[in-house]
Chain A
Amino acid sequence: MNKINKFQRDEVIKIIYKAAQKNKKIFFLSADFGAPALDDFRLNLKNQFVHLGICEQNMIDFANGMALEGAKVYVYAMAPFLSVRCYEQHKTATCLMNTNICSIVTGIGLSYANSGPTHYSTEDFACLRALPNSLIFTASDPSVAREIAKKTLKINKPTFIRLDRKSNNDFNSKVSSKEIDNGFRFLKRNQNAKLAIISHGTIIERAIKAYNFLDKKMSSKINIIDLIQSKPFPKSLKSHLNSYKEILTLDEQTNVGSLGSLLKENIDKKITTLALPDEFIFENLGRDKLLDKNNLSVTNILSKIKNLLK
């Protein structure tokens, strides 16, 4: 187990930086959003970095112009602004023209607690997955973020990488390239599991915590699946999920159009969902307490699990 906390955004930027040193057609655009790893990029690859100002809409249009000429463009900003602030640009430019642009959507869910609803990104998944032609990845830990970044270098289509704001540890020492290609991985796997808990992003930590609270008899009935690529929905996961009696989704998004909805669209069986309520959250409690208070406490997850395995 790797115990060093790392920021997902730094891991992603380091990979892009390395690739950009060799490929002069790789560009990094920022709408006034930084990261320690980006400092190296800005300093050493000045000609491949453009500061767009606090201007997400124009950043996407500008990126599209570059991509149409042959560039591979990474665009970077805080999640709520890079997802829905410039949503129409993603739709009518990037996705409609099917351009080679990768959006690094940083700070999903309640990452920016206690900044309040303007800075929370609790609907980006529902919005982004509605866009045709796009691929969506979500990182649960730094190693996954790194591998997703490597994968995006081989993708020539509109891609969204959803990252957390906080630093965390890797769950496994190394996510395999097969897992990345499959679009999902097991964080807990038992042979005779009856319940699959599916989640993405760092909220999956709570599923693992709940799992660890359970006795062996109970936990042996559970698999925890980290959905790395949610669009297109992984084909092999679709068939795999048919073997479970129960499916529980866990998402740090509001329930509208989130992970639960995605599963319901893809799997023809009962899906139980745990997500944030369909409302704006104003309280200043810190992220953990906000999650606890808004459906996503470990206690609530445990109670759902117990109910489903009755």
Chain B
Amino acid sequence: MSKKIYKKKASQIRKELLEKFYLLKEGHPGSVFSILDVLIVLYYGKFVRIKGKKVIDDVIMSKGHATVGQYPILKDLNVITKNDWVNWGVKKSVLKMFGNNSIPGIKTATGSLGHGIGFGTGMAFFSKFVSKIKKESYVIISEGELYEGSTWEALLLLSHLKIGNVTIILDVNNNIILGDTKKCLNLGDIKKKLVSFGIKTLECDAHDFSQLEKNFFKLKKINKPKCLIVNSVKGKGFKIMENKANWHYWNPISKNVLEKSIKDLEKYYE
């Protein structure tokens, strides 16, 4: 996929999301925009295969508050109906702030942190050894989920079972609700910890499309437990929220700020 298309989608999807947050007056924009470029590469780069309305590969948004980032993409790819997207916040829609498996294209219920790797390991284990379906399970976790003990329990099992069809994507934006992770509770050398669990770990910029694409191609060829650490900017694309912990949640903004943010965005991704 050309960088130009990725950039166009990054701008278009961000605009749609910002307008939706503005309408809903709630949400988790900081976390959504930090992982959005990864989602764009996964879906538009066809690492996640879609046949008709069926999503073949799994995207498990373990950091469930960022599931919203998947909706406009799935709408664009005809998995979610346009009506569900447009109606969300206005009238009846299947879409929710946190995803669940009743929403087309969303395979698990998440929102409570620390479940995704366990889900992904179970899904990959069954598809590899029983149903023999060739697919990849992409599990997106936040660095905040590394505080959950269940994340490490799941990594231990993933490594023990030597499951190669799970790719963990760890979004490191250095922020949790109350601020800098290093100051709140230092996670130490994350990469070293993952490697010590037997996880092949790569690292790249979460907003560099070429790097993301290159690493996803590389990961596809690795048949062992693996992880891509993506270093991201919380709220990426919007000056009002970039690297600001308080933008974990939506903050009220005026119509003028909304319009200016969209204008700036278009320039940024020109």
Contacts and interface: CB of A to CB of B under 8 A. Distances in A.
B70 interface: no
12 contacts: A25-B130, A57-B150, A58-B118, A62-B121, A62-B125, A66-B122, A68-B107, A69-B123, A69-B127, A70-B126, A88-B112, A92-B112
B119 A93 contact: yes
Contacts of A53: 153, 156-157
Given A24-B130, A57-B153, A58-B153, A97 B109 contact: yes
A50 B121 CA distance: 12
A63 interface: yes
Interface string B169-187: 0000000000000000000
A298 to B, nearest CB: 44
Interface of A: 24-25, 47, 50, 52-53, 55, 57-58, 60-71, 88-89, 92-93, 96-97
- Nearest 4 interchain pairs by C-beta: A65-B122, A61-B118, A58-B153, A69-B126
B109 A61 contact: no
Interface of B: 100-101, 107-109, 111-112, 115, 117-127, 129-131, 149-150, 153-154, 156-157
Contacts of B153: 53, 55, 57-58
Nearest to A63: B122
Nearest to B127: A69
B167 to A, nearest CB: 14
A97 B118 contact: no
Given A61-B117, A93-B119, 7 more contacts: A25-B130, A61-B121, A63-B122, A66-B126, A89-B150, A93-B109, A96-B100
Nearest to A48: B130
A62 B100 contact: no
Contact of A55 (B101, B109, B120, B157): B157
Q: Which of A57, A58, A60 has the most CB of B within 10 A?
A: A58
Given A58-B153, A92-B109, A65 B131 contact: no
A66 B123 contact: yes
Contacts of A52: 157
Contact of B149 (A57, A60, A69, A70): A57
Nearest to B126: A69
Chain A binding surface SS class: helix
Nearest to B101: A97
Contacts of B100: 96-97
B108 A89 contact: no
Contacts of B126: 65-66, 69-71
Contacts of B109: 92-93, 96-97
Contacts of A64: 108, 115, 118-119, 122
Nearest to A93: B115
Looking at B107, B120, B153, the one whose CB has the most chain A CB atoms below 10 A away is: B153
Contacts of A24: 130
Contacts of B125: 50, 62, 65-66
Contact of A65 (B118, B130, B149): B118
A65 B120 contact: yes
Nearest to A65: B122
B131 A68 contact: no
Contacts of B131: 69-70
Nearest to A67: B122
Contacts of A68: 101, 107-108, 119, 122-123
B101 to A, nearest CB: 5
Contacts of B122: 61-69
B118 to A, nearest CB: 3
Nearest to A96: B109
Contacts of A57: 118, 149-150, 153
A233 B125 CA distance: 36
A26 B125 CA distance: 14
Contacts of A88: 112
A65 B119 contact: yes
Contact of B115 (A61, A66, A70, A71): A61
A288 to B, nearest CB: 37
A158 to B, nearest CB: 13
Given A47-B129, A69-B131, A71-B126, A62 B154 contact: yes
Nearest to B60: A65
A25 B150 CA distance: 25
Q: Specify which of B112, B118, B119 lies most central, judged by the most chain A CB atoms within 10 Å of its CB.
A: B118
B118 A62 contact: yes
Q: Considering residues A55, A63, A88, which has the most beta carbons from chain B within 10 angstroms of its beta carbon?
A: A55
A65 B150 contact: no
